[in-house]
Amino acid sequence: MHPLLGEPFGIPIHSFGVMVAIAFMVALAVATREARRTGLFAPEVISDLLVWVIVGGIVGARLLYVAVHWEDTFARAPAQIFQLWKGGLVYYGGLFGALLAGWIFTRRRKVDFVLLGDVCLPAAMLGQAIGRIGCFLVGCDYGRKAPDLPWAITFPDNPDSLLPPELRGQPLHPTQLYMLLQALLIFLILTWVARRRTFRGQVLFLAIMLYPIGRSICELFRGDYVERGMYLGLSTSQWISMPLFLIGLIAFMRARRAGRRKGPAATS
């Protein structure tokens, strides 16, 4: 665990922020390469989109976290809303924020939102996998106790850690790594599908189906339910995952039917 990588010239370098920055840079490189391969978008469209996605994703992720924790944290100390280096970004909030920002971007640039999603979603999942390393380094998104698990992780008592003090030194499910592997697997699947895409939206809507499945499974091993909230035995992320999967499934089926009617031209 390394929440703080160092303080050169008195400036703290937080591992979470570093990994998020690396994630965005890698995602940009991969999406740009995919845009060149498909010929669907000029590279500058992808780089311009990144600015919108970064802002929309971070704002959305933070807003959902603040909304969930307003009463217990931010109502007493509103200034903490801007302390992103301490963690506190909810993926689903970031997803919705990034999608909204991407939709606004495509409207302004007059490009196809769905095709842009086909090009960018594999890169986005790879970026998320890298970002989960940041979660691991700071101790957020931690797992429940697992004293008999051979691959359980024990985090040290680091004062900069986001892990609750009572769980430091305890064997836990490495849920950060579970979610890393989940995102990496989805990236590989989407990359494989992208090379064989037969209709518009195939990659985008498949991603919207796959992520909720993997996330719901990972949620079974999370240990921060009290912090994030539980309703009728399910976490907030599991509740969000269900309608999101259905939306992805319906959109995928409709896009496939439309692709069959239009023929090969639907892939462009």
- Side-chain-side CA neighbours of residue 17 (13 Å): 10
Lookup: tokens for 254: 């409709």
Burial of 82 (0-12, 13-18, 19+ CB in 10 A): exposed
CB atoms within 10 A of CB 197: 18
Amino acid 187: pLDDT: 97
Burial of 117 (0-12, 13-18, 19+ CB in 10 A): buried
- In our burial notation (b when 16+ CB lie closer than 10 A, e otherwise), range 138-163 reads bbbbbbeebeeeeeebebeeeeebbb
E strands, 95-167, in order? 153-154
Amino acid 223: pLDDT: 86
Amino acid 266: pLDDT: 53
- In our burial notation (b when 16+ CB lie closer than 10 A, e otherwise), range 4-24 reads beeeeeeeeebbbbbbbeebb
Amino acid 265: pLDDT: 45
In tens digits, what is the pLDDT along the chain, a chain of 268 residues? 676 777 787 777 878 888 889 999 999 999 999 999 999 899 999 999 999 998 888 888 877 777 766 666 665 666 666 666 555 667 778 888 889 999 999 999 999 999 999 999 999 999 999 999 988 888 888 899 999 999 999 988 887 777 888 888 899 999 999 999 999 999 999 999 999 999 999 999 999 999 999 999 999 998 876 566 677 888 888 998 999 999 999 999 999 998 887 755 456 5
**CA-only gyration radius of the chain, Å:** 19
8 Å CB contact between 144 and 170: no
Residues 214 and 131: their CA atoms lie apart, in Å, by 16
8 Å CB contact between 5 and 85: no
**Residue bearing tokens 């090379």:** 195
Antiparallel, parallel or unpaired: β 171-172 and 153-154: antiparallel
- Side-chain-side CA neighbours of residue 231 (13 Å): 8
Amino acid 88: pLDDT: 65
Amino acid 228: pLDDT: 61
Amino acid 125: pLDDT: 95
- Is the backbone of residue 183 left (phi > 0), alpha (psi -120 to 50) or beta? alpha
Amino acid 81: pLDDT: 63
DSSP letter at 4 equals E
Lookup: tokens for 162: 């986001």
User: Which pTM value belongs to this model?
Assistant: 0.86
Residues 68 and 19: their CA atoms lie apart, in Å, by 24
